[in-house]
Structure 1
Amino acid sequence: MRALLLGGAGFIGLHLARRLLADGHSVTIADDFSRGRHDFTDFTDIRSCDLTDPASYADLDPAGWDHVYLLAAVVGVRNVEADPSRVLRVNSLVALHLLDWIRPGQRLFFASTSEAYAGGVSTGLVPVPTAEDVPLVIEQVAAPRFSYAISKTFGEAAVLHSKASAVVGRFHNVYGARMGVDHVIPELSLRAMRGEDPFVLYGADQSRAFCHVDDAVEAMVRLMASPYEGVVHIGNPEETNIGDLAKLILRIAGADPAVREVPAPAGSVARRCPDISLLREVTGFVPRVGLEDGVARTFAWYREHVFQEVS
């Protein structure tokens, strides 16, 4: 099987690429490498390109791949709030140019987000755990944080109304090695390694359901091997609050600081947890990596590869 990963140098993309390669498939990575370069010595087909430019697709023959994964996007709360216009432009253009290029019936995975539910959960219109068929709500179209959800909701509609055979995966708090430092698990881990005391904790009473990247990749591979078309959650329904997550990370770090709880940042949804019944029905998927194991593995990777660089 031949796979094209648009945005394959990013966090989930790199893990997916290595999984596909290990399974014996041919993998092509196309990326602008805006999030940096990793070790790609095990890949032979890497294309450096700007996927917002339609000319970048000129050298990509759509007949050359069996599966196409659209993972390229501007992500991360800090990036989204700093430049929402860029988020909307990049994420929308990449989707539209891809859909002008792709062949009818070609198998396509579109990476979406649980942020699509933030407005509905905050207004009390959407239950938690959340199923795929609930209404999507944008509380305030001018709020920078909603630009990401808007861009992904637009992308979902574009691919689902396209000529491709598309599956839309709404990721729920995927974490693991190489995800950068601007996410809650690596951020708390690095602060614990530095021995911060007092340890400031934002939104301790908020809850999330974290999914290890190995499980997310397994779900993606299974979905693309299935005939399913439409929206489906990719996540782990094992829910925890941020206070308990911090306790776990501090225990792994061997740290016992005074914890000072402060309110969560404005716009942060209080609770997020997926109902993955549809994913189980379609693929038989069951998460294998528990939170304690996954956090310990992630902590160890950041201690070995990142801590010395940022400390």
Structure 2
Amino acid sequence: MKKVLITGAAGFLGSHLSDRFIKEGFFVFGMDNYITGDSKNIKHLLDEPNFKFIEHDVTEFIEIEGDLDYILHFASPASPIDYLKIPIQTLKVGSLGTHNLLGLAKAKNARILIASTSEVYGDPLVHPQTEDYYGNVNTIGPRGVYDEAKRFQESITMAYHRFHGLETRIVRIFNTYGPRMRLNDGRVIPAFMGQALRGEDLTVFGDGMQTRSFCYVDDQVEGIYNLLFSDYSYPVNIGNPHEITIKDFAEEIIKLTGTDQKIIYKELPTDDPLQRQPDITLAKKLLNWTPKVDRAEGMETTFNYFKQLSPEELNKSEHKDFSSYTNK
């Protein structure tokens, strides 16, 4: 039985990836320190004979007994609310954490896939974004702690590939959504849905003309899975190229939820990208991959998930409690 380590396993994408690899017959080591993950995301896996959870911070030394065939590194804060509150932890998981996992992959002779992000492109001057675009990123701005952590992550991964001959894969993830997203974490979809379900007006930053492209989680997982088993070591965009303005998207949410909230506008955050759309030509060619779930279907499934949350979860503060963590 092949063995895979998935870091960030209690997070949104990590938990869905754990499901997929269990389904495919792998033994899965799921690792998380719960800094932004949630134990309920993997509760259904704890009785699985082919799943073992390890509570651990990947910025500390990592030890896995026995053979290991694959590593998927998905441990990182991903929402602005999180990484702006724990900026140093965010930088550490992208640097020290990635270094530890690359070292583990080398020791185990395992193939490693690194979760990068469309944020490496910054506020892009090229549209749509292709993998050979180097980006327009403010290294010292507030979002730099996340953007630069991911850019460094890519650099050290390629260094291990070139210098040590390590089998590496890099996925650049564009906006992804679906069940198990954390409500009110600052990202567009859970923010809008949380506001709609509470009867609040929907908050749009800027004039709402900035764009995003939303990929359903099942499509994202399929793309990541195909990339891991490809022969390509350089970054690949995985996302849905169907672009929409935030204003139009807010109106879609109001229609979907059957509410009559208004849209209110607030100042655009510093360095917030004005355009985000993946060019997936490479993924189509290399992986024979394109997204299958259209936004209407995916959004309905996601909304049904959020509707089932308890009143306590629905009204929980958007700020996760980071009091037990420090930014040393």
Aligned residue for 1:47, secondary structure, equals: strand
Q: Which residue of 1 aligns with 2:320?
A: none
- Alignment CA distance shift 1:239-1:132 (3 Å): same
Q: Is the 8 A contact 1:190 1:307 kept in 2?
A: no
Paired residue secondary structure (2:96): helix
TM-score, normalization by structure 2: 0.86
Q: Which runs of 5+ in 2 are unaligned?
A: 316-328
Check whether the contact 2:142–2:270 (CA below 8 A) recurs between aligned residues.
no
- Asked if 2 retains the 8 angstrom alpha-carbon contact of 1:7 and 1:72, the reply is yes
**Whole-Å separation in 1 of the counterparts to 2:203 and 2:156:** 41
3-state SS in 2 of match to 1:240:
strand
- The equivalent residue for 1:137 is 136
**Aligned 8 A contact 1:186 1:299 in 2:** no
Aligned: 1:292 with 2:305:
no
Q: How much does 1:15 deviate? A: 0.3
2:86 alignment partner, one of 66, 83, 91: 83
- The alpha carbon displacement at 1:306 in A equals 5.1
After TM superposition, list the pairs within 5 Å mapping 1:1-311 onto structure 2. 1-34=2-35, 35-38=37-40, 39=43, 40-43=45-48, 44-54=51-61, 57-58=62-63, 60-61=64-65, 64-103=67-106, 106-119=110-123, 121=124, 126-139=125-138, 141-162=139-160, 163=164, 164-181=166-183, 182=185, 183-196=187-200, 198-203=201-206, 204-305=208-309, 308-311=312-315
| Aligned mates of 2:204, 2:141 — CA distance in 1 | 24
In the TM superposition, residue 52 of structure 1 has moved relative to its aligned partner by 1.0
Counterpart CA distance in 1 for 2:52 and 2:278 is 35
> Within 2, Cα distance between the matches of 1:22 and 1:42?
14
* 2:325 alignment counterpart: none
> What is the CA–CA distance in structure 1 between the aligned matches of 2:202 and 2:16, rounded to whole Å?
31
Matched length: 300
Residue identity opposite 2:152 in structure 1: F
Alpha-carbon displacement from aligned partner over 1:226-268 (angstroms, at most 9, x marks no partner): 1111110110101111111111111111112232333422321
Structure 1 partner of 2:321: none
Distance 1:116 1:232, change over 3 A: same
Q: CA deviation at 1:308?
A: 5.0
- Residue aligned with 1:190, SS: helix
What amino acid maps onto 2:68 in structure 1?
A: W
Contact 2:174 2:214 in 1 (8 A): yes
Q: Deviations over 1:106-128 (max 9, x none)?
A: 31100001111114x1xxxx311
The CA deviation at 1:297 is 0.8
How far is 1:138 from its partner? 2.8
Matched residues in 2 for 1:208 and 1:257: separation? 22
Cα drift, residue 307 of structure 1: 5.0
Q: Matched residues, percent identical?
A: 30
CA distance 1:306–1:129, shift in 2 (3 Å): farther
- State the TM-score, normalized to the length of structure 1: 0.91
Task: Report the residue type matching 2:180 in the other structure.
Answer: R
Alpha-carbon RMSD: 1.7
